């Protein structure tokens, strides 16, 4: 039985990946920060077959201990300080977790496998997947971004992700580690944190439809992103580690939509006109932001045979329907 260790298992991607690997017959270990972590209970409820190991990406010793204990065939690093405004407010901790955390994890895996720097990937070693981000591209000149697009991040989060991305390349090319980065474009689901615009919209629409709210306040409506379904994307993570030769891949749908498209699709799901309910608040605008991100996923489709199964409007409908159910259940419970 293959063993996998997932950092960030309490997040959206981590839970979907754990489900996928468990269905594939893996023994799955979630690496979690602190036994008092409030998300651990939800993970245990959602994934009763998962095993947990405790540690911290800012503590190299705890990573070494965890890897030695689990003895994983595969490691997936999905943990990060991923909400961009928070990365500006706490730039140092963002760098410690999102950037240096990758270094510590690479070193833990390197130590476990006894890799001394041969420069050639050996069979049987632990394979590592790093969740990189389209934010490393910044405001790219190309209309769509591929593995060869120049890096120019514009936030502490993007910069920390780029540091981790480059480390993975260095450890692979110089030391012979099987380490790869998935350059992930925006991917969403009903499990998305409520701070992100996709979930903010779906939750806001549900509350307005149920009469719990009247207005939805948003920043820019013209920002464009390549939005896909997280459940599709985690399958690409696994496929990347099944390749004979380690290499990086852009993972995205190849189609971008504006925030206005997102809003219109969400409100149409409940037969409402978004113009009656959405207000643009200048205080929510970012002083520096990426205007458009669109993936060029041809390499992943060609080499991995991967492509998304859920389109943009199906994703939005999925999220709105989920929030309608949860908000309706909460409203009913409040009446007793």
Query: How many CA atoms lie within 13 Å of 184's alpha carbon, on the beta-carbon side?
Result: 26
Distance CA 28, CA 47 (A): 10
User: At which residue do the structure tokens 């060029």 appear?
Assistant: 296
Q: Enter the tokens of residue 33.
A: 């920060």
Measured from the Cβ of residue 283, the count of other Cβ atoms closer than 10 Å reads 6
**Catalytic site residue from 16, 26, 76, 157:** 157
User: 190, 259 in Cβ contact below 8 A?
Assistant: no
Q: Enter the tokens of residue 333.
A: 């419970």
Beta bridge partners of 52: 30
Q: Is 76 a catalytic residue?
A: no
Q: Is 178 a catalytic residue?
A: no
Q: Is 133 a catalytic residue?
A: yes
DSSP secondary structure, 227-282, as one string: -EEHHHHHHHHHHHTTSSS---EEES-S--EEHHHHHHHHHHTTT--GGGTEEE-G
Beta bridge partners of 132: 183
Of 157, 158, 166, the residue nearest 140 (C-alpha): 158
> 218 in helix, strand or coil?
strand
**Catalytic site residue from 82, 94, 132, 133:** 133
User: 184, 252 in Cβ contact below 8 A?
Assistant: yes
**Catalytic site residue from 26, 94, 135, 171:** 135
Residues forming the active site: 133, 135, 157
């Amino acid at each position: 039985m293959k063993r996998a260790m997932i950092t960030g298992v309490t997040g959206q991607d981590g839970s979907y990946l754990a489900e996928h690997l468990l269905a594939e017959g893996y023994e799955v270990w979630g690496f979690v920060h602190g036994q008092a972590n409030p998300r651990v209970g939800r993970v245990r409820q959602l994934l009763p077959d998962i095993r947990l190991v405790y540690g911290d990406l800012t503590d190299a010793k705890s990573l070494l201990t965890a890897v030695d204990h689990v003895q994983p065939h595969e490691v997936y690093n999905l943990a990060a300080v991923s909400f961009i405004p928070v990365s500006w407010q706490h730039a140092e901790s963002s760098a410690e977790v999102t950037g240096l955390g990758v270094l510590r994890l690479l070193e833990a895996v390197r130590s476990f496998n006894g890799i001394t720097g041969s420069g050639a990937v050996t069979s049987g070693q632990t394979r590592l997947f790093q969740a990189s981000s389209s934010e490393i591209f910044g405001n790219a000149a190309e209309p769509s971004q591929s593995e060869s697009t120049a890096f120019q991040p514009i936030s502490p989060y993007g910069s920390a992700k780029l540091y981790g991305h480059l480390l993975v390349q260095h450890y692979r090319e110089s030391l012979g580690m099987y380490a790869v980065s998935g350059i992930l474009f925006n991917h969403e689901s009903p499990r998305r944190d409520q701070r992100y615009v996709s979930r903010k919209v779906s939750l806001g629409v549900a509350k307005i439809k149920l009469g719990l709210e009247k207005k939805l306040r948003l920043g820019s409506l013209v920002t464009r992103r390549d939005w896909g379904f997280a459940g599709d994307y985690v399958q690409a993570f696994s496929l990347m580690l099944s390749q004979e030769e380690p290499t990086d891949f852009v993972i995205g749908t190849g189609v971008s939509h504006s925030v206005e498209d997102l809003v219109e699709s969400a409100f149409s799901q409940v037969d409402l006109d978004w113009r009656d309910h959405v207000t643009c608040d200048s205080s929510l605008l970012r002083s520096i932001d990426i205007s458009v991100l669109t993936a060029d996923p041809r390499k992943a489709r060609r080499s991995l045979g991967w492509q998304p199964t859920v389109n943009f409007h199906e994703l939005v409908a999925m999220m709105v329907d989920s929030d309608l159910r949860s908000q309706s259940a909460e409203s009913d419970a409040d009446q007793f």
